[in-house]
Amino acid sequence: MSLLKMIKNPQDLKAIQKALLPQVCKEVRERILDVVSRKGGHLGASLGATEITVALHYVFESPKDKIVWDTGHQTYGHKILTGRSDKLETIRQFGGLSGFILRKESEHDTFGGGHASTAISAALGMAAARDVKGENNKVVAVISDGCITGGESYEGLQNAGHLGADLLVVLNDNQMFISHRVGAMGTFLAKILTLGIVTKWEKRLEKFLARVHFWGAGLVRLGKRLKVLLFPGILFEEMGFSYFGPVDGHDIGRLVEVLEAIKKVKGPALLHIITKKGKGYEHAEKDVFGWHAPGKFDVNTGEIQKSAGSPTPFTKIFGQTLVRLAKEDKRIVAITAAMPDGTGTDQMRDAIPERYFDVGLAEQHAVTFAGGLATQGLKPVVAVYSTFLQRAFDQMENDIGLQNLPVVFVLDRAGLVGDDGPTHHGVFDLGYIRLIPNFVHMAPKDENELQHMVYTAVKYDKGPIALRYPRGASLGVEMDKEFKLIPIGKGEILKENPADQAFVLAIGSMVYPAMEAAQALEKEGLRVGVANMRFVKPIDKDLLKSLIQRGIRKFITVEENLLAGGFGSAVMETLEGEQVQITRIGIDDHFTEHGTQPILRDIEGLSPEKIAEKIRTLLPKRTQQTAAIA
């Protein structure tokens, strides 16, 4: 009989005998594998966190007790145990479950998570709120070893230690960072430490050593060194936390035992758990990077489905271009914030490792680090997702823009990214980068223009420069063999006719949809020109003025970005005072949910059909009637 079918909420889990929890873990893994193999999604992290998830929900009282997850990659098991197993088939699909933590989705989702390193700060806020209101519940933050490399995690830890908050941080160390030590001794230490005896005697020893002045400082230093050897969590201890572990994260019985003991401990505590990413599925265990989010695959053979004949992804083209340029220019160095494969910098890592830097999940540091490199004559290329670069806006402004340092920013996943949803949609960078003085920001219409923009960017030495490109396969256009410099701030007219009634000004990924829309309208007798503007900053003022001189009075801007402050806003500012009508097509003032890129673009009015539909409403009815008669 399936135990999982009996579990509709965490209370049902508690009714199951402790001896049967290994079977629950097995069924949770099977459910995750079944769904992800058919629907796609994040796999390795959720498989690795299965026992942690089951143990937490078995010991704590969610939603009264608050369990805060970092990022959400590891939460498919959490969704299963909190009443969403039947809906797991819809995960990351339009109208279905989010692939991350979403507060409106469940009362057990205590804090939304898509960007890393936020769990400790959010959990501390909940713990502080509990104390202010005089309530009595536990708060647990679950954070992975990778996410704890982010600076916000340490800000949260030091504040929690300072406040002495009653908070448990569970460090899910999946053997990709920090300690690999695990075994009976680690579990034994955790069990002993939960009794409070060791902590009590440790504090007495420290007081004793502090009083024995006549033995000098040497004995105090010796005592501290012994403490480092005896207590592996010295870093966390020094920040005010009681450290427990490491504990085997796949021994569900011992996990429950340790958590039940720690639950009685007051004050900030950290439980260090060692897990294996991809645990329970051989293929995912052997290749943790490839199976982080593998897409659809055959569970039995481990064969990942690949689209036959698909054009090379934009990400790979960027990586290839960067390596080619770096071999010619010794100044070029690549920087990524723990996303080498996702940004294409893995190719630089493999080809020229001495000029490749992975700084961990630390976007703020990545930007200022790049600034330091630039002051010494190097040409740093910071490759990061558009949505993640938002975290380093202050550094871009003060450390790069203000000092006018020649740093190159390459933004992957710009625009609507699809299934990852609102935490990952890169629909803000046209606005937030345009705000910063000295920055240049551009977007290619296709992969051929992308390689030329990367070349232009590394050759540009007058200040910071950024470019963005979309997620997914490129368009399959022919690639030039030689690189070409693109004049800064210059667009190009792709389609024009003396009888044009309006002109579409498109940027980046919207250029080809705008062309399709214009061609469809032309079949109806409606004349609309199209320009590939290339640059959001600086805008090509000469191109716009030349169109006005031709008699164009209707302009339509199209961007895969939020309208507020974006490309269309830049055009309006540029043409302020001119007797023209400007209509902006883009994303309105809201967060777009998850779904495939074609579905989302159509909903947001960015498909060729929706662009054409909008333009029709702007042209005089008499013109349309005349066209129909013709």
455: left (phi over 0), alpha (psi -120 to 50) or beta: alpha
Nearest-angstrom CA–CA distance, 555 and 534: 16
Annotated active-site residue in 29, 130, 277, 434: 277
| Type and span of the H or E element at 215 | none
Nearest-angstrom CA–CA distance, 420 and 422: 7
**Residue 341 burial class via C-beta count within 10 angstroms: exposed 0-12, middle 13-18, buried 19 and up:** middle
Annotated active-site residue in 66, 349, 379, 391: 391
Residues 6+ apart with CB under 8 A from 430: 441, 443, 468, 507, 536, 559, 561, 562, 565, 566, 567
- In which residue are the tokens 């933050």 written? 141
Residues 6+ apart with CB under 8 A from 548: 575, 578, 580
List the strands of the sheet with 528-532, edge to edge. Answer: 492-495, 528-532, 502-506, 554-562, 581-587
Residues 6+ apart with CB under 8 A from 68: 110, 111, 113, 119, 122, 123, 126, 139, 140, 141, 142
Residue 256: Cβ within 10 Å count: 18
492 is catalytic: no
Torsion of CA 457, 368, 121, 189, to 10 degrees: 110
Residue 490: Cβ within 10 Å count: 13
Nearest-angstrom CA–CA distance, 359 and 369: 9
Annotated active-site residue in 363, 397, 447, 449: 363
492-495 and 528-532 as β-strands: parallel, antiparallel, unpaired? antiparallel
Question: What would you report as the CA-atom Rg of the chain, rounded to the nearest whole angstrom?
Answer: 28
277 is catalytic: yes
Torsion of CA 533, 452, 401, 463, to 10 degrees: -110
Nearest-angstrom CA–CA distance, 210 and 219: 9
Q: Contact 381/324 with Cβ under 8 angstroms? A: no
391 is catalytic: yes
| Type and span of the H or E element at 493 | strand 492-495
Quick one: which of 435, 389, 384 has its CA closest to 573? 435
What is the b/e burial string over 148-168, where b = at least 16 CB atoms within 10 angstroms of the residue's CB?
A: bbbebbeebbebbbebebbbb
Residues 6+ apart with CB under 8 A from 350: none
E runs forming strands in 156-308: 168-173, 242-248, 269-274
Residues labelled as active-site residues: 277, 363, 391
